[in-house]
């Protein structure tokens, strides 16, 4: 299954470290990040899950839930949590999906749909494609996806930046330029006329006819 931005995220029921969830019900009316890792008890992933645990309050401020997933069973996730705390000082309190039958990984295109079997005996290298991030909006549509190589730890501050940008777009019909950070000037989207841009923002700077900059609203 090939997923693209603006596709509806597949719904599913799964066991997690916080009990059974229905994915769409769990998201509710807010935003969500589902991030996957190839295998528990591996070095880069240990640092990543700790980093996300340390940012939970920042995501909560943005009405954004966090959920992890790998093809390991839930029992392994529970055992791994202690190592994550030891290594990073952070406690993982967000749910982690156990996907030993590979169902969710295949549903989201992180493993080939024709792959048979379970996670039993699979190595991190076998699961290398299960290292993806999905940002999902309140409408349950995929707003962003990115996949990383196994050897490069992900930059989770970038996810905060993406959420800030997406939420600005959803609320104010603006886009964000390259390397934008919260509080910096933003772009009026092309679908908004000059008259409507002035009514909404008061004024704008037209660097080009199609590149109109305004102060960040809100």
CB 75 within 8 A of CB 42: no
- Tell me which of 9, 45, 111, 159 is the catalytic residue: 45
**HEC per residue, 134-168:** EEECCCCEEEEEEECCCCCCCCHHHHHHHHHHHHH
| Distance, CA of 53 to CA of 59 (rounded, Å) | 10
Reduce the DSSP state of residue 77 to 3 states and report it.
helix
Burial class (CB in 10 A: 0-12, 13-18, 19+), 58: middle
Active site residue 45: yes
Residue 85, burial from CB neighbour count under 10 angstroms (0-12, 13-18, 19+) = middle
> Is the alpha carbon torsion for 150, 152, 153, 157 positive or negative?
negative
Q: Give one DSSP letter per residue of 159-209, joined into a string.
A: HHHHHHHHHHHHHHSEE--TT--TTS-EEE-TTS-HHHHHHHHS--EEEET
The catalytic residue positions are: 45
């Amino acid at each position: 299954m090939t997923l693209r931005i603006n596709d509806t995220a597949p719904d599913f029921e799964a066991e997690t470290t916080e009990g059974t969830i229905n994915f769409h019900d769990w998201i509710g009316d807010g935003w969500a990040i589902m991030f996957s890792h190839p295998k528990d008890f591996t070095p880069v992933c240990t640092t990543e899950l700790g980093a996300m645990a340390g940012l939970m309050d920042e995501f909560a401020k943005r009405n954004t839930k966090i959920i992890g997933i790998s093809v390991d069973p839930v029992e392994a996730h529970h055992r791994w949590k202690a190592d994550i705390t030891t290594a990073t000082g952070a406690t993982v309190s967000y749910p982690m999906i156990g996907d030993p039958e590979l169902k969710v990984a295949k549903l989201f295109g992180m493993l080939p749909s024709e792959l048979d079997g379970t996670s039993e005996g699979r190595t991190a290298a076998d699961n290398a494609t299960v290292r993806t991030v999905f940002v999902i909006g309140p409408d349950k549509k995929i707003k962003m996806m990115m996949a990383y190589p196994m050897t490069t730890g992900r930059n989770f501050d970038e996810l905060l930046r993406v959420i800030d940008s997406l939420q600005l777009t959803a609320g104010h019909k603006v886009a964000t330029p390259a390397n934008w950070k919260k509080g910096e000037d933003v772009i009026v989207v092309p679908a908004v006329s000059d008259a409507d841009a002035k009514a909404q923002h008061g004024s704008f700077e037209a660097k080009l006819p199609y590149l109109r900059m305004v102060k960040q609203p809100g």
